[in-house]
Amino acid sequence: MALLRVCGSSIFAFIIWSLIKRLCAPKSPLAHIRGPQKEHWLKGNYHRIFQDGLRYNLDLVQQYGGALTVYALLGQKQLYISDPLALHHIIVKEQHVYEETDMFIMGNRLIFGEGLIATLGEQHRKQRKMLNPVFSLANMRDLLPVIQPIADQLRTILNAKIPADGSVVEVNLLPWLSRGALEYICQAALGHSFDTLDPTKENEYIEAIRTLAPTTLRLIFLRPFIPMIVRRFSLYWRNKMMDWMPSDALKNLRHVVNVMDTASKKIFAEKRAALENEGFIGIAGNRMQGKDIMSIMLRANASSSNDDRLTDSELLGQMNTIIFAGFETTTSAICRILWILAERQDVQARLRSAIRKAKQDYADAQGLSSPWEDVELPYDTLMGLPYLDAIVRETLRVYPPTSLLSRTARQASVLPLHQPIRSASGEMISSVHVPENTTLIISILASNHNKEIWGEDASKWRPERWLSPSGERLHLGDVESNSTTSASLGVKNGIKYPGVYGLMMTFLGGGRACIGFKFAEMEIKQVLTTLLPRIHFALPASTDRNGHVKEIYWKMNGLQVPVVRPPAGDNVTAQVPLDLRKVCEHDFVAN
């Protein structure tokens, strides 16, 4: 107990010390950058930005422009950036200056080990070099048919709940899509099935990963202390502190980390043994046949030059990292699309018809006799479907699953702005001096809603903006955007966002862009083209005892969280209840 008090009071002392340091600090060089007033002595503006903050974030940028200051925890001033040129500097040109924060890197290292999201600089670059080829187009093409059974299983499970007589059943899709996404990522990353979609088979590893995000979210207010604790205390004392801290969430987190660690070591050992025994084929009877990320990584390690090799702990770290990074985000994206399709019956019918046409055409061309609903489209056909692509892009643009990221300036620097901002003294300025150690928030959300690029209706969900008038796909900016289309999108002087996906920041860009974005895109499209031919989605229509209908509302808490609004729901529990029924002929549009 004595130590508990020591711990508690050292954190308290740290808070006081930070406050005093801030009060005594000379006038901040960021003082002339405008931004909202501090709204809480401890939370600053963070509670507004990170809790149900969609409107708040967009209003900030509307009022102050592409660079502004906000108050973080303990009144610290941070920069909030959505200007395209400034972002180009942060994530591409000067990415060595604007690194992930200590808090993020050290926190991740404690939880996941030495994976991609826990390393910086040269070590990170080396890991990316080895992992990038794993997500190549060629590997995605190979993977697609191998992971189709997961989408089929998801459809079978949902179908089994739907009445045969054509009536409607309400199903909360979130747990099923989340299990599906986890199964996808486990099979693709590890070539290992945990039977995630079979709820009778609980698995400790899967449970651990599923509780990780909610647990760390409960501990979010401890995160600022991680760098200090890691620097000043050894692993032994950190473990002791965990024992003494009166926090269930913290104990739970330690349990989760231990389970992940043990399970991933076991899988890793199996993989390596299989690789050595079976000549690089993978575990016998495994559907992936060595095409999974782990096998590819082990092979790459075996063949690359000494300098490029990763240590065991780095390879192990990738496994936990990739699974964690790959499942919540994709689940959120698929749920959001199905919810939109449920709301927009016209869009759902048009998309279903487009899928039917594509599958029928492919079946005809190949001479297939299976029902069109079960036809599996090859990678390039699936990725090339214009309307499906427009819907996926537009959803990921307007509602990016990860909306806000943070970086810290390792040295003083200057950020040029594409669009000048008005300073506190009223003059227009076109660059911002960033002091050393400033934390910056990258607003993916505000970038994707930039009216200069997307027009006045930037915040409106309108998939047609990705299509030509005759319904063909506009190839916008994936590599180099076409001058005619970019002009029509209002990109001036060749300025555009440095994102890897369209003109969007959804998957970031530069050396730390999302490594799995092609995988995510493929998974989303495969799930949609598998479910929609047989299942019709609608908003929940039944009323509860008091006559209230469930209304789904998405909170933007950094991540997107769907809840049911009061009075029919509790406004807190994440869920996506939709009405499901069998598809019938009037669920299509005439072609």
Contact footprint for ligand HEM (CB under 6 A): 116-117, 128, 185, 321-322, 325-326, 329-330, 333, 400-402, 405, 506-508, 512, 514-516, 519-520
Q: Among residues 37, 484, 493, 546, which is the contact residue for ligand NAG, using CB under 6 A?
A: 484
Tell me the C-alpha distance between 539 and 344, whole Å: 9
3-state secondary structure 451-505: HHHHCCCCCCCCHHHHECCCCCECCCCCCCCCHHHHHHCCCCCCCCCCCCECCEC
| Residue 537 binding target from ligand HEM, ligand NAG, none, CB below 5 to 8 Å by type | none
Q: Which is nearer to ligand HEM, 443 or 486 (CB)?
A: 443
301 binds ligand NAG (CB under 6 A): yes
Tell me the C-alpha distance between 340 and 562, whole Å: 12
Q: Which is nearer to ligand HEM, 66 or 516 (CB)?
A: 516
- From residue 289, give the alpha-carbon distance in Å to each of 193, 316, 392, 464: 13, 20, 30, 40
Which among 278-286, 447-455, 479-487, 529-537 is the span making contact with ligand NAG, rule CB under 6 A?
479-487
Which among 108-116, 235-243, 308-316, 389-397 is the span making contact with ligand NAG, rule CB under 6 A?
308-316
Strand 439-443 and strand 404-409: the pairing is: antiparallel
Question: In whole angstroms, how close is the CB of 415 to ligand HEM at the nearest point?
Answer: 18
| Residue 514 binding target from ligand NAG, ligand HEM, none, CB below 5 to 8 Å by type | ligand HEM
- Do 230 and 111 contact (CB within 8 A), yes or no? no
Would you state the structure tokens that stand for residue 374, as one six-digit string?
A: 């079960």
Question: In whole angstroms, how close is the CB of 314 to ligand HEM at the nearest point?
Answer: 13
Tell me the C-alpha distance between 276 and 290, whole Å: 12
- Residue whose C-alpha is closest to residue 398's, from 54, 52, 53, 82: 54
Supply angle C-alpha 556, 399, 559, rounded to 5: 35
548 binds ligand NAG (CB under 6 A): no
Cα-Cα-Cα-Cα dihedral of 508, 514, 516, 522, to 10°?
Answer: -10
Tell me the C-alpha distance between 271 and 281, whole Å: 10
481 binds ligand NAG (CB under 6 A): no
Question: Which residues lie closer than 8 Å to 458 by C-beta, 6 or more apart?
Answer: 449, 450, 451
| Residue 419 binding target from ligand NAG, ligand HEM, none, CB below 5 to 8 Å by type | none
Q: Among residues 262, 437, 542, 573, which is the contact residue for ligand NAG, using CB under 6 A?
A: 437
| Residue 50 binding target from ligand NAG, ligand HEM, none, CB below 5 to 8 Å by type | none
Give the CB-nearest residue to ligand HEM.
516
Question: In whole angstroms, how close is the CB of 555 to ligand NAG at the nearest point?
Answer: 5
436 binds ligand NAG (CB under 6 A): yes
Alpha carbons within 13 angstroms on the beta-carbon side of residue 426 total 0
- List the binding residues for heme: 514
Binding residues: 514
Kindly list the residues in this chain that would bind ligand NAG in the complex (CB under 6 A): 51-52, 272, 298, 301, 309, 312, 315, 436-437, 482, 484-485, 555, 566, 571
